[in-house]
């Protein structure tokens, strides 16, 4: 389930469809598809432009990863408001509007089974962060550049709107 057809790795689980005469088995080509979870901050401090950037990140992840299970999206503020696998960004409902605490959402995403390989957190940065690494790679996609100094060093940081 974590692979799709294409070049990347070889596997003998599914034989190559072009087998030579003589009994030798050739491996098939498969391309591993990592499981990615996107967390969208829907707290009251997130403006409409911030939520638009979050939907843009979700659209880019959906387009980049041809995962047959879809991309896991968690939306919330202090708690998870919606959690579902999506195939199009239109399927995401960004509900919330309360306080902000992404640390709990990051830990919840890391504890899901099967565990994601990466967790992308789209937020304005006005939030608390887990103090210790949680397992999967975590990337903070910040919509505001002035909040980057508050992100722990073990979290990779990307500024989505650098001109602000």
Average per-residue pLDDT for the chain: 83
| Mean pLDDT value across residues 19-28 | 73
Q: What is the pLDDT of residue 16?
A: 65
DSSP states along the chain: --EEEEEEEEEEEEE-SSPPTTSPPPEEEEEE---EEEEEE-STT--HHHHHHHHHHHHHHHHH---TT-EEEEEESSSEEEEEEESSGGG------S---HHHHHHHHHHSSSPPSEEEEEE-S-S---SS--SSEEEEEES-GGGGGGS-TTSEEEES-TT-
Q: What is the pLDDT of residue 162?
A: 60
| Mean pLDDT value across residues 132-142 | 91
* Domains and their CATH numbers in the chain: 1-32 (no CATH), 34-159 (3.40.50.410)
Q: Tell me: the pLDDT tens digits for 31-66?
A: 777 889 999 999 888 888 899 999 999 999 988 887
């Amino acid at each position: 389930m974590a692979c799709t057809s294409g070049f990347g790795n070889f596997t003998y689980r599914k034989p190559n469809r072009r087998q030579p005469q003589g009994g030798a088995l050739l491996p098939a080509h498969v391309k591993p598809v990592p499981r990615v979870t996107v967390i969208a901050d829907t707290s009251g401090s997130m403006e409409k432009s911030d939520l638009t950037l979050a939907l843009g990140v979700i659209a880019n992840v959906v387009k980049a990863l041809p995962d047959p299970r879809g991309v896991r999206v968690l939306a919330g503020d202090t708690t998870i408001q919606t959690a579902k696998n999506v195939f199009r960004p239109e399927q995401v409902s960004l509900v919330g509007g309360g306080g902000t605490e992404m640390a709990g959402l990051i830990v919840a995403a890391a504890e899901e089974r099967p565990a994601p390989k990466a967790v992308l957190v789209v937020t304005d940065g006005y939030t608390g962060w887990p103090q210790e690494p949680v397992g999967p790679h975590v990337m903070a996609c910040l919509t505001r550049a002035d909040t980057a100094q508050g992100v722990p060093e073990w979290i990779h940081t990307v500024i989505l709107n650098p001109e602000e």
